[in-house]
Each structure stands twice: as C-alpha cells, then as structure tokens.
Structure 1
Amino acid sequence: MTVRQMITVALATVLLTGAGGTPAVAGAALTGAKHLPAADVKHRPDAKHRTTVEDPAQYVNPFVGTQQGAIDFGNGGGAGNTFPGASAPMGMVQWSPDTVTYQHGGYLYSDQRIRGFSLTHISGAGCGDYGNIPFLPILGDSPVGHESFSHDHESATPGSYAVTFDNGLRTELTTTQRSGVARFSYPAGQRASLTVDAGRAFNSASGSVAIGTDSISGYTDGGGFCGSNNRYRIYFTAVFDHPFTRSGIVQDGRLDTGRRTASGESRGVAPQPPRTAKAQAELAGHRGPGLALHPDAPDTGSGAQALVSFDTSDNPTVTARVGISFTSAEGARANLDAEQGQRDFDQVRDGTRAAWNDLLGRIAVGGGTTKQQRTFYTALYHSFLHPSVLSDVDGRYPGFDGQVHRTDPGRVHYADFSGWDVYRSEMQLIALLAPKEASDIAQSVVDQGAQAGYFDRWTLANGGTGVMVGDPLPTIAAGMYAFGATDFDAAGLLRLALAGRSDDRERPGHAAYDGQGYLPVGTSGIWGSAASTLEYNTADFALAQLAGSLGDSADHDALLHRAAGWRNLFNTDSGYLQPRDADHGWPSFQPTQQDEYVEGDAAQYTWMVPFNHRGLFDAMGGNAAVVPRLDSFFEKLNAGPDAAHSYLGNEPSLNTPWTYDYAGRPDRTADVVRRAVTTLFSDAPDGEVGNDDLGEMSSWAVWGMLGLYPQVPGRAELVLASPLFPQITVTRGNGPSIDISAPGASADVRYVHGLRVNGTASTRPWTGSELITDGGTMEYQLAADPDPAWGHDPQDAPPSFDVGPAQSVTGQVTGLAGKCLDVAGGKSDWGTPVQISGCTGADGQRWTLAGDGTVRALDRCLDADHSGTADGTVIQVWGCNGTGAQQWWPRPDGSLYNPSAGRCLDAPHSRSADGTRLQLWDCNGTGAQRWTMPH
C-alpha cells in the first residue's frame, strides 16, 4: 500500500525535550542518541491539506459513562461515573441532574427520577463529593423529593442539558465557567415553584440560605471525599426574572412562609470506599466494594431549603441566573455579572458551545465511522471537564493554608486533582492542546504545595484528602513542563517537591524508601508497599527530568538513582516485582495477590516501570521471554484487580499495552490498543468499563485512537500504536504542525507496515521531540495483517532511562595499592569470588560500567552473595539478573555504592594482599572503599 495523502496535525507549543538513544539510555543526557530523520524537520504542510471538523460538539454524548459498562471490581464501580449536565471547559459550575439512586457523579442512567440539579460535580471519581446546592422545579405549594422523566424527553450536549419531567415541567441548563443559567418552563394552570437546598450535597453538608424578593443566596459547607476530612465552602447567588409570589423555608416537609433565612444540615448519601492508607489498614484484609454502591437518597431536605413560587400566567418560563464562588458572597455575584453580562440563555449556551468547539476542534479526525467519531469526541470532552476553575474573575481563591490568595493578572487557579490517576496521560493531553491553561494548572500545583507545606496526592477544592498513593502532583507539573507548558514557577516546584520527599504527609515511609531503596512490608502509613515504591520511583524519575531541564545536574542524578529502586523489588526467581520485608527477605507471594498493591495485583504492577522497560525486560530474561508473557497477560483486557491478566478499566495497567514497542513487537501494541479502544469504549451510556477518574480513562482512549502515548512521565516522547482514523489534525495554534495520514485505517486495519516521517522512511515505533517542536509529517502504511518485522530491531526501540553511563565504559578498576578488581582465576562460573590482585590486563580484570548500573566482567555481573545486605557479605560474579544486588553506583568520594544494601564495596581490614576477597561494608570513606573507575 502506497501512502499518498498527508494531513496536518499542529501540536503547537509542545516542548518535547531531546529524545532518542540506544535501547537503554542512561539518565536524561541521552549522549549519542539517535534522532528522527531530519530530511525536513521544519516541514509545514499546506493548510489546505489539514483536516477540519465542523461543530465537533455534535459528536459528544455526555451520557457516556452514566451506566455500568462492566462488572464492579470494587474500585469505584463498573461505570464511568460521569455526569451529563452543563459545564464549560474545566468549569467551576457543573450544573447537572442528580438521580434518586446515587452513582458517583450523581447520575445513574437506569434511574429515571431526578431529585435535583446541583451546581457542582466530579466526573468519574471512585468516591463521592460535591453535588452541592440542588435546585428542583416543582408544581404546587409543597416540596417533593423528586420528579420522574423519560430519556425520550432528555438531551445533553457540551455546555447545555435539558429534560422535561413527566408532569410537563421543562428544565434547561447552561453554564459559563463560574456561573449558570436555567430556564424552567411550567405547564399552564398550575402553581410554578422551585426549591433550593443550601445544606445538601452528596456527602454530609450544612449550609445557610436567605430569600429576597427575586433572589436566593447563601453558602454551603461540604467535604468528606473518600471519607477524608477535607472541607470547603461554596457561596452562591441566584437571581430570577420573576419576583416571588410566595416563599419560605421548608422545615420537616412543610413550608414556613414567615421565615426568610435558615441554616440546616443533612447526612450524605455517597458511599465512601477506603482510598487512604489509614482506611485500608482498618479493613483488616477485607476486599471488595464493602458498601452498597448505589443507595437511594432520602426525599427530605436539610433545613436550609428554600421554596419559592412564581406567577407564570403571562410568561410560563422562569429564568434563573446563578453565580458561585469558593471565596465570598461578593465573589459569587461578581462572577455572575462578569461572565454573563446582558446575554440571554441562548447566547450563553451558544458561547459555551463555541468554547467547547474551539477546544474539541484542536484534534480533527477524518474518516472512521460515526460511532468512532462520537466515541473519540466524547472521550476528548470528558478529558477537559477537570481540573476545575477555583479562582474568581478577580483572581481571588481560597488557599490550602486557609487564607484568601489572588492570582497574577490573567491567570487562573485550578482545583480538583485526581493525582494518582491523571499524571499518566491526561495532563499531557491538556498540555498538548491547551498549553496556556496547562501552565496555570501547573502553577496551581505549585501554589497548593507552597500553601499547604507539602503536596497532597488527591486534592479537592482548597484542601488535600490523602487519597490514593505515591507522589503524583509534582509528577503532573513535571509532565506539563516537558510538554511545553513552561509558564510557571518550575524551579519553585522542584524546590518544594525535593523538600516534600522528606515529609511524612507527602511521602509516608520516606526514611525507609531512601534508606533501603524500597518500602518494606509493614511500613507505617503505607497502603501497598510494592505499589507505593513503584509510584515513588516514577515520581523521582519525573522530578529528575525536570531537574535536568532546569540545569540542576546534582538533583537530577540523585533522583534518577532513587528511581532505580524498583530493582530492589525484582525477584529473579519469580520474575515479578514483589513486596519485600525490612530484612530484605521475600514473604509468601502469589502473582494475583492484591496485598501490598493498590487496586491491582503483582501481575499488573510488575510492568509499571514506564521509564525503564529495557532494564525490566532484561531482568525478565529479554524480549524472547517478555513477549509471550505479555501475550498471556492480554488474553483478557479487563480482568479485574486480582487476575493474571490486564485490568484496563483501572490505571495501573494503562501503560502496559505500549510496552510491546520496547520488546520489538509494535504490531502487538497496535493490536491490543485497537482492541481496547473499540471494545472497552463506545458512544453509549455504558461506554466505559471503569470510573473515568476526572478524565484519565477518557484521555487514554483519546491517545489510543490517535495511536500515540506519553509513556514516560516527565518526558514528552510518544510511543506508537496506529491511528484509528485515516486523517488526523491536531492544532495548538503556535505554528508547528504534524500531518498524520493513515489511508484505510479502521477497526481491523491496524498494523503498521511502513512509516515515513518528514518524507523519510522510519522503522521506529516512537517519536522524538524534534518532530513535535519543529513539526513535520507522519505517513502510515497500514494493513489488516501484522508485520512483525517493522520496528523489531532493538536499535529502533523507544528509549529507556537508567542510571549508568550513556555509553558503556570498559577498563580496569583499581583500589588499594593500585591493585585491580579481579575475578578469581579468570573463571566465569556463577559464584566465582571477586578479589583484588596485581594488575595483569587479563579478561577477569576488564570491567564494563554498563548503562543499567551494573559492573560486568566475563559476561557476568558484580554481585552481593545471595542478595545479602549485611556487613561482610562477600562479593562474587553472577549471571546478570537486574536485581538491586547487582547495582553499583560510583560516588564522588570514589566509593562503589550498593543501594540495595546501603553499603559500599570494601577490602576487608584494608588488606591489599593479592587474593583478598571483597565484601560489603558500611560506607566509611577509607581507602579500602576507594576505587578508580575506567573513563
């Protein structure tokens, strides 16, 4: 098949830092790295060839994810947990219907009873929060708990929502970022009324309400996400175009027309699964959902519920304009006035749809089926519902220190960071398409850390929750920086993140992690010692990349070495990354165990070394062993958290389909990714098989349908599958463009047989930074049958990043009295002692400092006997196995440090006699531990 058509994709301001290299590349220096063919790196395809899509909002179905798409595995449900209501991109106001039967997100598609339209929501979380201040239009003088409806009389599209109740009352909603407009159309001949409850949310809440002649205002206090103690306050003001003919406070189901103000509280309805280390510890080994996932909300109000009525005899439609603020009552009104002005409902709705079209249109896909287009644009839509604007139009916002702060002019402060989820691919997508907003998001992360004194893992409104594990917020900012969103205090971020590495609030178990190179089983404050170790490794790697970009080589090197801690969990006997005891022993183990992992098992987490697949694969036995193991893993795509197969309905498995690219089988990546995006995602309400996690799962689907993925957190190389669509154009607005064409691409036509980059043939299943920053073209030749040869050469694999030199160095290693490090007798048998001896130039004295942090001679690795860590452990040569026992890191004082043991290579008692066998010993800076390495 000859590729002829070329389509432009403008990935404007993306700053992908230099990429490339041999299959194992040390650090971030990438010395000697290969780059993409440079035939025409500043190629600019003619604009007339670019793909455009008119009104991409027409392809979005906001109901996707509101109905269960798979079984509930106990990690938040089997649905996307999205909501269908009105929202601007990353809006503060997300005005949406809430059904009587609760589902995280507030709306369960199978329940056709609406209990209110609340002003705030979270899309896709596995726990509940927000759902504040529900409005419910009703008929008559008495409050009701809910109204029924049919989906035949309901519609939703980006920026607006509408439903007609079975009683004929119609509600239409639209929003700006910080305000909303509602139209309530009442049937003739009945009293038109409405309730507003300031003390009700999905969780326990309290609030205060005040009724004017044509307005309702107040505030609500909420929180409790995942059972945490986070709290926030939301102020609101609602102004109606009809004066009230009757009003009062609802108390115990009755209307008291003599009251104009009230305070009240309500119990929450949202189940709160255990998503913190403390909550997990209290489970005492129990697994599964634990709580009823879909309880029915009570019909009663909070005591801070207002009921007002209108005269609609002349005009049956009542319009309500609402503003909210997390800062002040004045801020709520100012947000309303500034963002709506004199515009009517239709103008606000059309303006918000235009904003969505501008954003959605930054990726234009051509060809494909209507279902595929709807699935794609719905996923892109869900990717941009969060993070959410927190600052008012004047820049004021509540900080994590309880004080009111103000952004710099022209900037926005954002909230709601599902850190453990979104660092993987969503924040990179936002940085790709909206670099200005991404810079503000990254600065918001910095501000959160500065105000709180540490970086939390999962933040909501103006507080941390402690939910999930790892250290993801600095990783988010580092990733955005790599993708070109650099207009924020990156140096401040790095400074705060380095301090946070030693803060128990940010990194529980940090002393053990830094001291032993991993988190032992039983470490206090830790949920999932193995999973948390791997998360810390990833965070350290991303921070290392940021440090390198900022010219901080010392912190870059130190962090990169910390990121290698995964080797301390690799058990060469089992081939898995396993939990480990404090004494370096291995507790009993099963690959399908969830204990010491987080929402997954060992079979799934063992692949989670996204920055060094080459090192991991070599430890597993090389590509020949890895590929069939991956094949078995992907026999099922969404098998759940305690299976030997993939669990693509949750985050820990998301990077794994792309790992085939590193093992020389990109055809398998193309197959698995295509199967996933066409079977696990759809354009129907049940079109997601796991909770969307504020857009992370949707962003993965977007990347998967593009055939590109940001595999390595903190860097901007993209690994390849293949495009689902024949034509794709991504634009960012700053000039560079990449034209992707894939004639014939479809659900079945998925395998790459050829690729031309900037007009030059390429066999690499990844792209480097020069393609993105300078622009160019990608022309695919696809077919329905695999081509195992394309991308198979190990030299074409995407770069992995390790701790050794970028280019291996070979020579003598000398120590005391100028004696050489020597393999006894020049033997290569496993277990042969390593000693010091007079230098002879023999092969047993020729040591190679390898890129993976090992020191090698005679095709064997310098090794601590039986992975010992105690003083006096003897040193030998052994088959290279990728474990921490074979890591030897040269330090400035000349010592060779073994991170697994926390000890140094040592000549016992400073003896320099020939044949002195070497050992591990506490690092002491003596000459017995000083080694001169080859250069």
Structure 2
Amino acid sequence: MDDIDPFIGTAPTALPPAQGLAATWWWPKAQIGNTHPGAVSPLGMVSACAYSGAYPTGYGLYTKNTEGLPDQMFDHPQASGFTHFQQSGTGAIRKYYNYVRVTPMVQPLDTLGQSWPLHDETAEAGYYAATLDPGIRCEITVGAKVAVHRYTFPEHRGARVVVDLSCGGLAIDHGRTVPLRAHVESLGHGRAQGTVVVEGVPLSVYIEVDSPDWRQMVWHDRRLIEGGTRLDFDRIRQTTLRPFGLLFIGQAAAGQSVEVRIGFSLRGCEQARENLRRECGEAPQAFDTIKAHTQAKWRDHVGRIEVEGGSPARRQVFATALYHSLVKPCFGDDESPFWPTSGPFAFDVCTMWDIYKTQLPLLMAICPDRAVDLLESLIRVCEEEGNFPIGYRMARGADRFFRQASALTHTALADAHAIGLGDLDWNWALVHMVDDLRRMYGEDFYEHGVVHPISHTLDLAYAYHCTSGVARAMNDVPLAKQLDERALLWPNAFDPATGLLHDSSFYEGGKWNYSFRLMHDMAGRIALAGGDEKFVAMLDAFFGYGAARVVQPGHRPDAAQMAVGYALNRFEGLNNEPDMEAPWSYHYAGRPDRTAEVVHAALTWQFGTGPGGLPGNDDSGGLSSWYVWASLGLFPVAGQSLFLVNAPAFARSTIHVGDKDFVIETSGHRETPISSDGLDRVPPPQYVQSARLNGKPLEVTHLSASDVHAGGTLHLELGPEPSRWGRATRPPSLSTGVGP
C-alpha cells in the first residue's frame, strides 16, 4: 500500500515522448486523468477532498475539456473548503456532487466562498491533508458512510468552522447544483443535522464538532441568525438561492485541533446519526480510529493482488492503478432513497461503457461479494426504473447515457452466472435481461436486425448471445434458440467490401476504433474481413506498424488539426474506451506476438508516475483496471467468461480469488523499465514461448474464467523472440463450433 500515489492522474498528461510503436498512436480525447487525491474508502459511499470548483471532481486547477490538454482555471492550488462526494476520473458526466462544504477559517463569514492557497498537500489511501491559508492544517479521512475532518488552527480569537449545506457542483458553466428543499437544525453542544434535497436525492447529515466552549448558530446569505436554531426552505430556485448552513466559532490556542465528524445518509437524519455512531462510536475524537480502520481496509483490498519484481516506478503505477480500480462504484448498503427495502444500493456507475470490459471482471475476481451486490442493485434499478442502466449516479437516471452503448449489464450478468457467483434470483434476472433487450435502440434492432449508431448493433447482438447463455443454462432451450437468432445478426453491422463497420455515427471514435472489438464469433468476423492475413494487415495499419510518429493535440486544438488526426484511422491508445480490447484481437488471428508488442508499448509509454501519469480520463477506474489486467498478462473478455493470456509485466503475480490463489509465474522473465524510469531507448517486448496450467501444457492462448476463479498456477516461459505458441488453436468462437 505504501506504493500508492493518489496524486497520479490529477494533472494533464505529462509523459516522456513515446518511442517506437507507441509514437504512432494519436490521442484525441482529454489528456488528463481527472482523478482526485481525496480521502476515500474502498468502494465506499463517501469521499472528501479540497474544493476549488475545478472540473470534474471539484479538486484541482483545470477547466472542462474533451479534446487535448485542458486549460487552467487557477494559477495555483487553492480551496474554498472541503467537500464530499467526488467523481473519479470521469469526463462530461454532468453530475458533479461536492456537497456539504466544510471550511475552517479565521476570516469574516462574508468571505465564505472565496478560495485561499493550498500548501503542503499530502495524500495516502484513505487520507488527505493540506495547509489552507493562513496556516490552518487540514486533515480528512473517511469511513464507508462518514467523514472526519481535523483542523489545527493558529492562535486566533475568532476561529471558526463553517458548514455550507447549499454547496454543490462546480465553478464552471452549467456546473452548479442548486438544492430544491432544505432543513437545517442546530441541536446544541456541538451537534447539528440537516437534509438537502438536491437533484432529486435527499442527502441527510448528522454533524458533531469537538469544540468545547465554542458557540454555534445557523446562518443564511453569509449573515448569522442570532438566537436561531433552524432553517427551513420549502422551495429554492436558481434565482432565489442564497448560501446557508451552520457555524461553530470560538477562541483557538496555537496548535489547537478541532474535529468535525459527519454521518451521511440518503434516508434521513436519524439514519445519518446511526451511521456516524456505528463507525465513530461515542468517543469525543474518532479521526485516528477511522483513518486506521480505512487504511486497514485498503491494505486488505489492494493486497488481494500481489506482484513481485518490477522497477519502483512500475510498482507505484501498478499499486495506484489497483487503488483507482477500487474507488468506484459507490456502495450505500440500505441507503436507496428510491425503494424502501434494505439491501445494496450502488451508484456512480459512470458508466458501464467505461467499466464493463475491465473493472467489473476485476471486482468479480477480488471483490466478488461487492460484484454480486452491484448486479443485485442494477436489477433493482431495472425493476424500479424500467432499464438496466448504462450509467447510474446518485440521482435517478438509468437511461441517460444511451448514446454510448446498449445492453451492457448483460455481459456482467452472463459472466457472474457462468462462474456461479453469488445467489442472485436468476429466473428474475433473466426476465429483466430479456425485457431490456427491446428498450431504446433495442426495439429497432428487434424489428430490423440492424440499428444506427451501428455500434449498437454489435452491442445488442452480443447481449442476445449473453442472455441466450443464461437461458440455456437454466434449461429454457426455446428461449435460448429465439435469442440465438438475433445474436447471429452481428454481420449486419459490417461492410463486406471493407471488412469494417458500415459508415455511421460513433460515440467518441470512428468505425476503425469500433471494428476490432472482441465478439462472440471472432472466427466469422475474421472470415468476413477476408481471412487471417487480411485481418492482421488491418490491425497492423490500425496500430501504426511502419507508420511515422504523430503529433498529439495540445491546448485548444482546432478543428483542422483534429480532422487530420481522425483521418489517420489509428489506435487512440488507452485514451479511448473502444480501443481497450483491440490489442487482443490479434489472438483470434493466431498472432499473440502482436498483442505482446502493442500491450508492451502501452504499458511502457502510456502510464507513469506523478500527477500527469495517465494518458487520459481514468473513467471511474476502467482505465486503471485495464492496466492491472495487462500487467498481469491476462485480459478478460466480458460476457464470455474468458481470459486471454499474454506476457506479463511482472515475474510473478498472485490473485487472491476469495479463499483461492491464482498464481501467474514466469521463467525467462526480463525486467523492463517504463517511461518514468528515464528511458533512453525502446525496451523490447517479451513473448510467451510455452505455457502450463497446473502443470499441464497449455497450447491455447486463453483460460476460462472458472480456471482463474478456482485457483491454480499458470506458468509462462518467456523469451525475446516470437514463438509458435498459440498460433494453431484460437480462442473459442461460434463459427468454430465452440461457443464462448
């Protein structure tokens, strides 16, 4: 856990200029990780961080951007306080949270909302600290449903802690969040509570402040309400909003610390108080206890994958990637404000398009209980709202990301069923899987066998295949056969004359980016392209073999520059979701050596240490999960309960899958540096020469997910030259008569 650096990804991409194959890749999307260094608990409900109003987390210096490098909003790190609930690595999600701003200050109340410089920032898993002018040391830690702040003041007669319950959103155009209704109540003796209805969600807090002899009162429009103990707002509008909240004020000796404990709930103040009491107990101070407990949880979670070898830089990037993979989604058990029953409530699924290929299989491997909870929550969303969500935030809205993709939850459900994960009501799940196939774009696909955007044709055909597998496993053969008919309509998406997808509109990409996804019939897809050699030639062109170095978009790239880049029809690196799985398409054409070269180039040049160490938005951990799998030498094929095998970056790795261990060990492994190690030449890749699974020869380039989840040992012999391993027998495909 000591290798984790929460600051990785918080600044614009600042990696050394790539060499070799990676120098031919063109990155059109935002070149910034959009992560934050705030305190979080593994998959917890609450996060907390310094708040400047910057995009998209509320932390940092940068304004909104979708292409190239972002512009700065501010000249230096600054904060107007510390807020709760942040996105992690997302782009234009339009759900910016940052509720309940807590500001330690010695300035007058009418300066609230101004930002002051931040100094001496530090962060660890579960902990964030900084000094806020004029010399207030601020520390934050969180539990699953609580946040604890500790502020150490300089000597001052009028030190104060101000809680702003009206805060929300960002300081960018259209980024502000305005509460609709609110209730705030001072309970005396350092106690207060309140509920703010924001974007349809009733967020309740119960607050305790350890500040003996300090006065407390409510305030509105930056004016104290002497003698007042409560505020009620029945209806607030953009034009009528004036800040409001609570204030705690008193004399502080130099070095005096004040602790603020906040319990959160989406089901009222009483449950917020119970959440606070459950995690913090009755002791007057809980900061060190909560910090130690959360950091122990992080040690447990990131310890579920252990690696041996690697340079310090590579180990730090890997550890941080694993950390970022476990920040989202957020789980608020028994906290749904939309249905009354107990059980898991998962939000910040932002979005399935980002996480279904890499992050969800990772959760199934190392956090299987939480993976099941997520699926149960998604099924409940479908019951309540009529759709499996493509993305789901704290507020309702299962279908708000419909342009990205269709029917992605089906892949995770199919994987979970195939490996026997959890005790879901699979009959009920199957009902929703079938019904959801005909929603949104699914209706046109059902009637016509093709739909535009054309990528949705592939999504839906694949989802039919995933649903058919669940139906057949449950002995509903007639239903499975009906579903199979439409699963076989995937060729309708392709133009046989080019071997690529038909012209269409595409979400963040073009037809080249979407044409190499891993489908349920890769043998048929390769035949459609003209066979192995032609398919490999197309992939080689896409990945830039033999191409010249490209120039990346900088600040505010103009339309002409972007058009030239898009015309390359080139791999966009790990800056773009549709490209994440493309390197493994080579496996299905008998060229795992090419996969090794592309993945090695990406691991070497597209990730590094420091705030600028990510090539683009981390997308709620989807990108970081890609890095974790690629470093282990595995890639999950979502929906097919399948892993593809490649040369790993570490000499030995262990995945703790429940009470089983899956070990990936190597012979002939050679340590290779990454860009942050200060490369002066391109290090060559390594290739798998032979493989053994549990002591038996493995001639194929894939494993079933059951092999991994059952535990065992995969031994890979590595060498400096491509071999014949994996060229004769391909991964499963419908056209070969071996279904995934």
Q: Deviations over 1:588-622 (max 9, x none)?
A: xxxxxxx5211110111111243222211111011
Distance 2:477 2:667 in 1: 41
| SS in structure 1 at match of 2:314 | helix
| SS in structure 1 at match of 2:612 | coil
- Provide closer, same or farther for how the CA distance between residues 773 and 321 of structure 1 changes in structure 2, counting only shifts above 3 A: closer
- Provide closer, same or farther for how the CA distance between residues 75 and 545 of structure 1 changes in structure 2, counting only shifts above 3 A: farther
Q: What is the identity, as a one-letter code, of the residue corresponding to 1:85?
A: G
Residue number in structure 2 paired with 1:459: 392
- Provide closer, same or farther for how the CA distance between residues 170 and 789 of structure 1 changes in structure 2, counting only shifts above 3 A: same
Residue number in structure 2 paired with 1:613: 522
Residue 33 (structure 2) aligned to one of 71, 76, 80: 80
Residue number in structure 1 paired with 2:209: 240
- Provide closer, same or farther for how the CA distance between residues 244 and 80 of structure 1 changes in structure 2, counting only shifts above 3 A: farther
CA-based RMSD: 2.8
Residue number in structure 1 paired with 2:256: 316
Q: Say if 2:136 is the partner of 1:160.
A: no
Residue number in structure 2 paired with 1:514: 446
Residue 486 (structure 1) aligned to one of 418, 422, 445: 422
TM-score by length of 2: 0.85
Q: Deviations over 1:389-414 (max 9, x none)?
A: 123xxx35323xxx42212xxxx332
| SS in structure 2 at match of 1:59 | coil
Q: What is the identity, as a one-letter code, of the residue corresponding to 1:618?
A: A
Q: What is the identity, as a one-letter code, of the residue corresponding to 2:516?
A: W
Q: Deviations over 1:294-313 (max 9, x none)?
A: xxxxxx99422333213323
Q: What is the identity, as a one-letter code, of the residue corresponding to 1:471?
A: A
- Provide closer, same or farther for how the CA distance between residues 438 and 456 of structure 1 changes in structure 2, counting only shifts above 3 A: closer
Measured after TM superposition, the shift of residue 85 of structure 1 is 0.8
Q: What is the identity, as a one-letter code, of the residue corresponding to 2:727?
A: H
- Provide closer, same or farther for how the CA distance between residues 103 and 699 of structure 1 changes in structure 2, counting only shifts above 3 A: same
Distance 2:28 2:436 in 1: 28
Residue 230 (structure 2) aligned to one of 261, 286, 289: 261
Measured after TM superposition, the shift of residue 222 of structure 1 is 2.6
Q: Is the 8 A contact 1:208 1:304 kept in 2?
A: no
Measured after TM superposition, the shift of residue 245 of structure 1 is 3.1
- Provide closer, same or farther for how the CA distance between residues 257 and 475 of structure 1 changes in structure 2, counting only shifts above 3 A: farther
Residue number in structure 1 paired with 2:97: 130
- Provide closer, same or farther for how the CA distance between residues 771 and 508 of structure 1 changes in structure 2, counting only shifts above 3 A: closer
Number of paired residues?
A: 670
- Provide closer, same or farther for how the CA distance between residues 159 and 642 of structure 1 changes in structure 2, counting only shifts above 3 A: farther
Measured after TM superposition, the shift of residue 122 of structure 1 is 1.8
Q: Deviations over 1:858-902 (max 9, x none)?
A: xxxxxxxxxxxxxxxxxxxxxxxxxxxxxxxxxxxxxxxxxxxxx
Q: Is the 8 A contact 1:661 1:765 kept in 2?
A: yes
Q: Say if 2:116 is the partner of 1:148.
A: yes
Alignment of 1:178-327 (within 5 A): 178-202=145-169, 203-206=176-179, 207-213=182-188, 214-223=190-199, 231-243=200-212, 245-262=214-231, 302-313=242-253, 316-327=256-267
Q: Say if 2:357 is the partner of 1:424.
A: yes
Alignment of 1:365-444 (within 5 A): 365-391=307-333, 395-399=334-338, 403-407=339-343, 412-417=344-349, 418-444=351-377
Q: Say if 2:268 is the partner of 1:328.
A: yes
Q: Is the 8 A contact 1:93 1:178 kept in 2?
A: yes
Q: Is the 8 A contact 1:182 1:321 kept in 2?
A: yes
| SS in structure 2 at match of 1:103 | coil
Q: Say if 2:595 is the partner of 1:669.
A: yes
Q: Say if 2:666 is the partner of 1:733.
A: no
Q: Deviations over 1:512-555 (max 9, x none)?
A: 211221115xxxxxxxx212222222322222222233333333
- Provide closer, same or farther for how the CA distance between residues 618 and 702 of structure 1 changes in structure 2, counting only shifts above 3 A: same
Q: Deviations over 1:347-404 (max 9, x none)?
A: 211111111111100100011011111111111111111111123xxx35323xxx42
| SS in structure 1 at match of 2:724 | coil
| SS in structure 2 at match of 1:337 | helix
Measured after TM superposition, the shift of residue 774 of structure 1 is 4.0
Q: Say if 2:529 is the partner of 1:596.
A: no
| SS in structure 2 at match of 1:689 | coil
Q: Is the 8 A contact 1:199 1:263 kept in 2?
A: no
Alignment of 1:489-508 (within 5 A): 489-502=425-438, 507-508=439-440
- Provide closer, same or farther for how the CA distance between residues 688 and 112 of structure 1 changes in structure 2, counting only shifts above 3 A: same
- Provide closer, same or farther for how the CA distance between residues 78 and 216 of structure 1 changes in structure 2, counting only shifts above 3 A: farther
Residue 294 (structure 2) aligned to one of 335, 341, 352: 352
Q: Say if 2:407 is the partner of 1:471.
A: yes
Percentage of matched positions with identical amino acids: 29
Distance 2:658 2:59 in 1: 36
Distance 1:131 1:75 in 2: 28
Residue number in structure 2 paired with 1:787: 722
Distance 2:500 2:256 in 1: 67
Q: Say if 2:674 is the partner of 1:765.
A: no
- Provide closer, same or farther for how the CA distance between residues 192 and 440 of structure 1 changes in structure 2, counting only shifts above 3 A: same
TM-score by length of 1: 0.68
Q: Is the 8 A contact 1:371 1:683 kept in 2?
A: yes
Residue number in structure 2 paired with 1:571: 495
Q: Is the 8 A contact 1:649 1:689 kept in 2?
A: yes
Q: Is the 8 A contact 2:36 2:49 kept in 1?
A: yes
- Provide closer, same or farther for how the CA distance between residues 313 and 805 of structure 1 changes in structure 2, counting only shifts above 3 A: closer
Q: What is the identity, as a one-letter code, of the residue corresponding to 1:91?
A: G
Distance 2:418 2:256 in 1: 54
Q: What is the identity, as a one-letter code, of the residue corresponding to 1:669?
A: T
Q: Is the 8 A contact 1:86 1:94 kept in 2?
A: yes
* Structure 1: stretches of 5+ with no match in the other structure: 1-56, 224-230, 269-299, 521-528, 580-594, 807-850, 853-935
Measured after TM superposition, the shift of residue 325 of structure 1 is 0.5
Measured after TM superposition, the shift of residue 437 of structure 1 is 1.6
* Structure 2: stretches of 5+ with no match in the other structure: 16-25, 63-71, 170-175, 554-564, 673-682
- Provide closer, same or farther for how the CA distance between residues 356 and 750 of structure 1 changes in structure 2, counting only shifts above 3 A: same
Residue 48 (structure 2) aligned to one of 65, 72, 95: 95
Residue number in structure 2 paired with 1:561: 485
Q: Is the 8 A contact 1:443 1:489 kept in 2?
A: no
Alignment of 1:676-715 (within 5 A): 676-711=602-637, 713-715=638-640
Larger radius of gyration: 1
Residue number in structure 2 paired with 1:286: none
Distance 2:229 2:482 in 1: 62
Q: Is the 8 A contact 1:246 1:257 kept in 2?
A: no
- Provide closer, same or farther for how the CA distance between residues 792 and 267 of structure 1 changes in structure 2, counting only shifts above 3 A: farther
Measured after TM superposition, the shift of residue 332 of structure 1 is 0.6
Residue number in structure 2 paired with 1:112: 77
